[in-house]
Structure 1
Amino acid sequence: MRLGIRANLAQFSLLVAINALVGGMLGQERTVLPLLADETFHLTGYTFLLTYVLAFGVTKAAANYFAGTWSDRFGRKPVLLAGWLIAVPVPLILIWAPSWGWVVAANVLLGINQGLTWSTTVIMKIDLAGPERRGLAMGLNEAAGYLAVAATALATGYLAAHYGLRPAPFLLGLSYAALGLGLSAFVVRETRGHAQLEAAGHLAPGELSDREVFVRTSVREPALSSASQAGMVNNLNDGLAWGLLPILFATAGLPVSRIGILAALYPAVWGLGQLVTGPLSDRWGRKWLITAGMFVQAVALAGVALADGFTGWAVAAVLLGIGTAMVYPTLLASIGDVAHPAWRARAVGVYRLWRDGGFAVGAILAGVVADVWGLRAAVWVVAAVTALAGLVVAVRMYETHPRRTSELRAGTR
């Protein structure tokens, strides 16, 4: 048993592919569900429309936490399998849903699926990669997931435009669930032993209670808690992009096919960009890449609020994708840098609890502001919150990459 991406290339590559399927399960909703709410179920209030994002965010956040604790207790593979079993009914419910309540129920299951499967693939890749190339590992993981989100959002937009909003777009999700379950059951191998191998090389004691891990990651440890709040705000603005921006584009008169392009453009740039930003954080460090990424996101959201046509929104979507790519894998890598291998899976779970809680916070905040002051006001508010989160990282977080930290210390002597 050895640490490193190259030493574990077959299993690492398999887990990248499985995370692409996880992302595809999320992507089946990005274009179609806001339109389904409007055209099929005739929902009028933005807050009520965003109940599916709220349901998804709350359940995914909770599932992230339990994915971390269960991965330490029972192993990684059983948690991954459980997540895929829960995924199977989701597209079937979306196809046959007679009312919006069924759609919300499907998103409860989708949130559990995403929390268990995505968290576990993150944990397993950190186990395999070892300390030196965590940024690259997380860049590959998140790139696969969000490129699949983008490709599926684009494909479902095409299917919806040509064959209707149901059932064709969701048959794609059903195939993802079947393939993910089969690969996880028969090909994936357990990786907890790799974390135990890395822990054996640490001099510091690693045993902490679940409560201690939660408090340390949420509040007490500056880098971990800074990453947790930045992750929450990042997914707050992603919840806005998912739930409200397609409605903004539709009210401007854009056809479904063009809305599908915009829905796919942001996660596509996000996904591809992580292939660059993940390894870049291994060379440059984590802190300032995260800080700059949050500010780029804020500028992009301001661009969405100011634009009034496809070209302007496309430019803003590209910029939003770039900013998110700077932040997303780098935050995960920083958690892996700081957390001891003995409680790292739980720290990842707590971080992802806060990060994906941003979907719920974003659904409530953006929905209420949109109902009271309009869609563009909601975008402006989220842009301001994102800029504030970047400022918190700049002030409170320290550099976490082991090599960059030692270089900075050497430079101050």
Structure 2
Amino acid sequence: MTAITLPPGPTAPQFVQALQALAAPRRGMHRLRDRYGDAFTVNVPPYGRALVISDPAEVRQLFLAGSDAADKPDRNLGHVLGPGSLFALMGEEHRRQRKLLVPPFHGRRLTAYEKTVEEETVRELASWPQGRGFATLPSMTRITLNVILRAVFGAEGAEFSELRELLPRMIKLGSWLTLLPGPRAELGRLSPWGRFRGMRREYDAIVARLIAKAERDDALDEHDDILALMLRSRYDDGTGMSRGDIADQLLTLLAAGHETTATTLAWAVERLRRHPAVLRALADEVDAGGSALREATILEVERTRPVIDLVARQVRADGLRVGRWTVPQGYVVAVSIALLHDDESVFPDARTFDPARFLDARPDLYQWIPFGGGIRRCLGAAFANLEMNVVLRTMLRDVVLLPAVEPDERWHSRGVANAPARGGRAVVRRRADAAPTPTVATTTAARS
């Protein structure tokens, strides 16, 4: 291998860099780019020393690297989701599991979940107050959780209620534990890891009951929830998934698609209230039965307000060449999603919220990466976008979302996702009772 070549970066101790990253992750990345350019080295937990890149060509090269050259970091959500999680698996075993899980999230199968999303959205909208401000993030979180419990877990009755109470606490704690060093000893049930393990045992018992119910169901072949599809699926050698792997993958699908989707929906509310011309056009499109602008708007929200900071790979080969850099084995290479999405050479006038940029062009999946990229791109990306599409369509159909005059909401880290600091506040009126939407001194060219 040729000599190691890495760009410069901050030299402060790891704990100082960690505090700076936690205090202002997005603003901090932009400051580092302004000082060092589009690539720099950092030293932050959980990765340690890492190369951060945002050049589109280098991002593409990283994502196209084979799993033998660069794969998941040792430290990721797999640490808390279980050994059978896609986040934990590598190489051939990851490919094997992913192949089994792809069909439920693509093509005609997706349409089976549309009714579930609409039902949950209508139920939640009925609780929204009229004429006064409230945070939409809790509502969006309830919608996405209920959708996943029904569409993915196939849960109902007691199991539905138990999982709805347990899983938000479990995922919240697990997302923070991901950032901490792994446990070296059992510290008791009152320690963070002890609490998480207790929750995991409770979760496994509930899932075991769901599996047992499904296996006793003579009509299992007619069910379209993901659990039923997992139970029916078979690897190339004819074997099925183990019960432990099913439990790990169900938890993985929840962790990857619950809070992130809810947070993006809250950001959509925050963005649309500050761009009333887009908001009016979307309402008109819903009334006309269209969807093109709504789909483009979702893509633009995901570009301008990505809820995940970084996509990372760890070098597994003796060394890896990424554009100008030669990265040593064990080093993490992280892609800054925000820096890539704000790149003027990729997205002209990048700081402007402009859904029209995606009306006639689909995004390049090596440049627009809210779901990551390459062999580890989020399996449920199509499901998440379908869910957001139906939630926004139903919301715009049933209520008037009033424009905002207050400043943009700031970014707030919730461990897994970066959320609007005030929860995506909204003021709404029922469509049947609504007066014409007022105008405000805001334009679609407003800077974010």
Query: What TM-score do the two structures reach when normalised by structure 2?
Result: 0.29
| Larger helix fraction of residues | 1
- Larger Rg, first or second structure (1 or 2): 2
Bigger strand fraction? 2
